[in-house]
Amino acid sequence: MGDFPEIRWEFLGTAVEDFILWLDSTFEIVFDFIFLISSRTINGIEAFLNIIPWWVLLVAVFLLGWRLKSLSSGILYAAFLFLIGTFGLWEVLLLTIAIVLTSVVISLLLGIPLGIWMAVSNRMSLVMRPILDAMQTMPSFVYLIPAIFFFGLGNVSAVFATLIYALPPVVRLTELAIRNVDKEVVESAESFGSSKWQMLKKVQLPQALPTIMAGVNQTTMMALAMVVIASMVGAKGLGEQVLIAINRIDIALGFEAGISIVFLAIIIDRITGGAANRFQKHRRAE
């Protein structure tokens, strides 16, 4: 009675492994298509960013910060980018931005429609909620295993793992935003004979937009949080520099890459947060 009874659940691990192998063999064309689209998107964004002169990007960030926050914020964000460049990490920064943007765009393309579906269907919401709970609570390192299995090492695996980690916030906040639209506004639209599509397009989505923008902000930040972890599956960028610094015990490189990620996180968080606040003020003014 002193030892806890040990039960082997080997059949569970075997069942999961067989399921993954079945997915890989059955949907090989789908995974190849995802790999092709993701890799071309990352390469395309990176190539576009490299074409733009560095000072143009600094000016763009300054203008965004000034427009969405304040003049001092715009100057600060541009200074952060300039500092990253002085560390010799400019090209690495652009690749990180390309990976994060690709992950966020895919997350939004999947997450916002899924959140809308959950908002209009209680059954879909009931099914998806435990799945989203698992996606948010599962250790992020676990996502790297299927990513490597399906896509091998590289940036596409990083996008896949980041997608799983960053998708839940925008789904949950989209559902919450649409469900919390004022009932009186919805009833008024119904009384004028609005269809479900018209209701969604002209009433619910405009009213829910500020909260959805908050979800975009959270998804973007969670995608950026995966930068270092994704480097373990061969993803390039600032996360790779942190991993190299750990392997070499290079304190200087680790500090430069780490503080660059912090600077990038601050810029993205403040700009997306400022956009969400502007939407909120615009809705209140109406």
Count CB-CB contacts under 10 A for residue 176. Answer: 17
What gap in Å lies between CA 44 and CA 50, rounded to an integer?
10
CATH number at residue 102: 1.10.3720.10
Q: Is residue 65 part of a domain?
A: no
Q: Is residue 62 part of a domain?
A: no
What gap in Å lies between CA 2 and CA 205, rounded to an integer?
59
| CB within 8 Å of 41: residues ≥ 6 apart | 102, 105
Q: Is residue 1 part of a domain?
A: no
Q: pLDDT averaged over the chain?
A: 83
- Give the global pTM: 0.83
Residue 226 half-sphere exposure, CB side, CA atoms within 13 Å? 34
What gap in Å lies between CA 226 and CA 232, rounded to an integer?
10
What gap in Å lies between CA 114 and CA 92, rounded to an integer?
33
Q: Is residue 47 part of a domain?
A: yes
Between the CA atoms of 176, 178, 182 and 183, what dihedral angle is there, to the nearest 10 degrees? -110
Q: Is residue 3 part of a domain?
A: no
Q: What are phi and psi of 24, to 5 degrees?
A: -65, -40
Q: Quick: pLDDT tens for 135-152.
A: 888 877 777 777 887 887
**Residue 25, domain extent:** 10-51+87-285
Q: Is residue 16 part of a domain?
A: yes
Q: Is residue 80 part of a domain?
A: no
Q: Residue 76 pLDDT > 90, yes or no?
A: yes
Q: Is residue 112 part of a domain?
A: yes
Q: Quick: pLDDT tens for 4-60.
A: 666 666 666 677 777 778 887 887 888 888 888 888 888 888 889 889 899 999 999
What gap in Å lies between CA 163 and CA 159, rounded to an integer?
6
What gap in Å lies between CA 46 and CA 101, rounded to an integer?
10
Looking at the 3D structure of the chain, how many domains does it have?
1
